Amino acid sequence: MRKKRILVTGGAGFLGSHICEKLVNEGHYVYCLDNFFTGKKENIAHLLSNDCFSLLDRDICLPIDLEVQEIYNLACPASPYHYQLDPIQTLKTSVWGAMHMLELAKKNNAKVLQASTSEVYGDPQVHPQEESYWGNVNPIGRRSCYDEGKRCAETLFFDFRRAYRIPIKVVRIFNTFGPRMQPNDGRVVSNFIVQALKNQPLTIYGDGKQTRSFCYVDDLIEGIFKMMDTDSSITGPINLGNPLEYRIIDLAEIILKLTGSKSPIISLPLPSDDPKKRKPNIELAKKNLKWQPTKKLEEGLKETIEYFAQILEEDASLSSGT
Ligand code: NAD
Ligand code: UDP
């Protein structure tokens, strides 16, 4: 296998750190670019001393010049709580970040993969969502900085492809969970597990009848690598996610059962524009990538619960000084 120089933006985040780790293990030279807005040094601590790993502590909103053969563009907060804290920065990160990565790909004739999202379908009126659906997105709401930022990034990817023949790969990622999510991330799986482990109330937004489809991180990362390995005729967009659909209230019950927690479930207001249902059609991924997820929700949750139990224990012993 040829050793490549590869840039992973958002490389200290949940998904990015798994990508960095796999690439280093495969023998590549990895640049991990991150501004640590939601990413954590702990996620990449085990890679820092590796000669084939280099951390670039910087913002993707700044242009960058490097010699690379591949780029995985993941820099962008993914949790609604975090991406709405500074919506203008979120939009810049998606759009300027995509522009800078495409310019870099153009200069190097590098393959560039964009981590797009199921949010490009907004609050979908087609179910399950297939790639040909153009979506139902509010352009001026609280989620728009993320949804429209990611949609604009997709536009840039395809315009660069048409103008300069850049080898692009666009994957639309559906809700993914697993180890290396942060306890304060704010997404539903991490919130419910942390609340259950701390015997705090599980916070359901709205009536909990809205649905999502949850993919375990190892499955998702495998799909991303398979996409990067395709020939240049395959650009995407291609959905990556688990097509099994759950109501949020049912997810809460499963997590209570798996943790053995006695936490009550409470209802909080539903945030505006929260999609009512979401489930990927993954026929394209099955056909073009020979990929589909294999990890059962409960199995993935058990591993994620173990991970959070361990970091909560470490945090507790740090704060008690033991
Ligand atoms: P994450 O928040 O854990 O990771 C994002 C990383 O990007 C963090 O390390 C953060 O510090 C970094 N970052 C944010 N703004 C930056 C900036 N301006 N400059 C440099 N670095 C910056 O989220 P994640 O779940 O790992 O998501 C990674 C990517 O995948 C995101 O682009 C997200 O939109 C996409 N995605 C994820 C999911 C999912 O369920 N995990 C679903 C759809 C799309
Ligand atoms: N949600 C919830 N309680 C929480 C966090 C999220 O009920 O503590 C709901 C949220 O309203 C949404 C779903 O769970 O309907 C998934 O939310 P998440 O933030 O994980 O991702 P989204 O798919 O909305 O981007």
Residue 317 has a pLDDT of 80
**177 alpha carbon to ligand 2 midpoint, in Å?**
12
DSSP string for 218-237: HHHHHHHHHHHTS-TT----
**Pocket around ligand 2 at a 6 A CB cut-off:** 79-80, 175, 187-188, 191, 203-205, 210, 212, 248, 271, 274
Closest CA to 176 of 261, 119, 95: 119
Backbone angles phi, psi at 233, to 5 degrees: -75, -20
Q: Is pTM, for the whole model, over 0.95?
A: yes
With respect to residue 194, please indicate whether it lies within any of the assigned structural domains.
no
With respect to residue 257, please indicate whether it lies within any of the assigned structural domains.
no
Spatial contact of 239 and 131, defined as CB atoms under 8 Å apart: yes
With respect to residue 58, please indicate whether it lies within any of the assigned structural domains.
yes
Residue-range definition of the domain harbouring residue 65: 5-177+215-243+279-295
Measured at the CA of 116, the angle between CA 283 and CA 108, to 5 degrees, comes to: 110
DSSP string for 181-220: --TTS--HHHHHHHHHHTTPPEEEETTS--EEE-EEHHHH
Residue 96 has a pLDDT of 98
Mutate which of 14, 61, 129 for ligand 1 pocket (most atoms within 8 A of beta carbon): 14
Residue 316 has a pLDDT of 83
Spatial contact of 201 and 229, defined as CB atoms under 8 Å apart: no
With respect to residue 263, please indicate whether it lies within any of the assigned structural domains.
no
With respect to residue 315, please indicate whether it lies within any of the assigned structural domains.
no
The catalytically annotated residue of 31, 72, 83, 146 is 146
Spatial contact of 182 and 40, defined as CB atoms under 8 Å apart: yes
Residue 95 has a pLDDT of 98
Rounded (10°) CA dihedral 170, 59, 89, 138:
0
Residue 198 has a pLDDT of 97
Residue 320 has a pLDDT of 74
With respect to residue 206, please indicate whether it lies within any of the assigned structural domains.
no
Residues 98, 101: Cα–Cα separation, whole Å: 5
CATH of the domain at 29: 3.40.50.720
Look at residue 240 and give its three-state secondary structure: strand
Residue 322 has a pLDDT of 61
Radius of gyration of the chain (CA): 19
With respect to residue 118, please indicate whether it lies within any of the assigned structural domains.
yes
With respect to residue 151, please indicate whether it lies within any of the assigned structural domains.
yes
Q: Going residue by residue through the chain (322 aa), what tens digit of pLDDT does each one get?
A: 689 999 999 999 999 999 999 999 999 999 999 999 999 999 999 999 999 999 999 999 999 999 999 999 999 999 999 999 999 999 999 999 999 999 999 999 999 999 999 999 999 999 999 999 999 999 999 999 999 999 999 999 999 999 999 999 999 999 999 999 999 999 999 999 999 999 999 999 999 999 999 999 999 999 999 999 999 999 999 999 999 999 999 999 999 999 999 999 999 999 999 999 999 999 999 999 999 999 999 999 999 999 999 999 988 887 776 6
Ligand 1: which residue has its CA nearest to atom 19?
59
Q: How many CB atoms lie within 10 A of CB 294?
A: 11
Number of domains in the chain: 1
Proximal ligand: closest to the CA of 97: 1
